Structure 1
Amino acid sequence: MKDVILDRLHYGHQGIEKCLLRARENAFWLGMTQDNKEKVKECSICERYNRKSQQKQPLLQHEVPRGPFEKVAADIFHLDGQNFLLMADYYSKMPFVKSLKTMTSKETIDYLESVFAIHGIPKVVIIDNARQFTSFEFENFRKQWEFKHVTSSFHFPQPNGFIERTVQTVKNCLKKAKAKKENTQLALLSLRTTPIDNILASPAELLFNRKVQSQIPHIIRHGSKSEGITRHLEQRQAVQKGYFDRQAHDLPPLLENQQVSVQDTGTGLWSPATIVKHSGEPRSYII
């Protein structure tokens, strides 16, 4: 079991400190720190991809936002012949990754719209001068969704610390997962559910204000607010059932070999059929 947990802690190949942050949140055994260190040091994939490159320039940093999705950054990167759109939230550090097929403004806009429709419209979107972001289509998108569009290469000359680091982190995560033939989405889940440091929670927890279940077993604690919401949802569900059941009644169970008619939900037409047996699921039969 310990080996399984070690493997899952290292899913995403984030390094010793990040593995230990995940471990301390979810597990404990004697020698856990040393076991994690040895696991990372013995990883051939990490050894292959973690070599330092040339000297980097000092980072240029932004003002820290007060909450999630006030400010996001987007960038396009290339990996193993594929193009990806990365969007990341400055507050939670949550990365959103989309594989691009056409590299058009429309495809880029469609994905950003889908994220904004779920998480809300950010006040500021920081991007570079890639053609997907400088097109007439993108400007119309910006006006319709009413966010401020800041071009990083003008207002914030490269290297833009946050997005540069996030691109590199995500690229490393994907490269290592592919090299080890691991599920890339599980690798990204590992990245998103790993605490940022000893004080800050994971990107997922900072964004959603709750712990997100990953492959590492842990107890998800629901506070009094969550319990109140659950009770309210149960009450709403009971009211909905009451309204629905006013015009409904239980039907008698069907028997094996009973002749019935089955409606095609697509066409609305009925066809004769014979009951073989009950499927084991409520109100469901094999015909």
Structure 2
Amino acid sequence: MSIGSSPPSVRPPGGGRRAERLAPYVLIAPAVLIILVLRLYPLLLGVNYSFTGDGERDGQAVGLDNYTELLKDPVFRTALENVGLLVLLLPVAVAIPGLLATFIHLRVPGHRFHRGVYFFPAVLSPVIVGAIFNLLLAFDGPLNSGLGYLGIGPVDWLGDPDVAMFTVVGVHVWATFGMALVVFLAGFSTLDPSLLDAARVDGASLPRVIRHVIVPGLSRTIQFVVVTTMIGMLTSMFGLLYVMTSGGPEGSTYLPEYYIWIQQGQMNRPALASAASTVLFVIMLVVGLAQIALLRRTGRES
């Protein structure tokens, strides 16, 4: 071989190419195995168990009897109505951290202090949060005392069936939006700053910048936050419900998650609880897919 000439390329043998093709599957195999064993398999067992009976009919196939009983149960229907309420309140729960992240990204005065303060509630236990707000929202608590100084009558925040669910949802949003705020801030790091600069040069107002620049640029981040926030509302409010209202007053603050715990843990009806779990899973799946489809269409229109 002459001096200065490049060495001949060496092709990997057939076994080496096969190993390269298999390497990605080998790397993801542990995660897939964990999902199959700890997630998918228990889910299938729960769905299958929902078609069996409780009590004297334990283990016997009962068809759709459990689902029929759920639809006849006024408490479960209230839980489903509350799910609809959560869907209606979801835009507010997503808009709050989104707007705060926007102000922080635009470096409003005190943005560093605000960043830490807004995230602080996310590290608190739901039990602690519930206990704190039980004191603040008591009928003779500080909040109603402050309203009294303004000439406003006291509000039974946790004892009025028409108000209690809104109160618990508001506390949940306050306690959890810090995580969504962090996700939005991470999304802003991927946003092209030249687009914001061009909007400022053109004299665009903040609402127009948000609608035509920020929302399209953060469409994937918004999709992620919407889905995770909805899942959190449906599956992570048990602690607050248990501490603040225990499903009351008059069952007005029941959610499927709390209903499942009551049937499984107190009524000893695991098959009915499995049916309620299956309904909750289907609701989460349908709502999540519908929200993603709507956000994608909105992003294309923008």
* Same fold by TM-score greater than 0.5: no
More strand by share: 1
TM superposition score normalised by structure 1? 0.24
Q: Which has the higher contact order (CA 8 A, sep 6+)?
A: 2
TM superposition score normalised by structure 2? 0.23
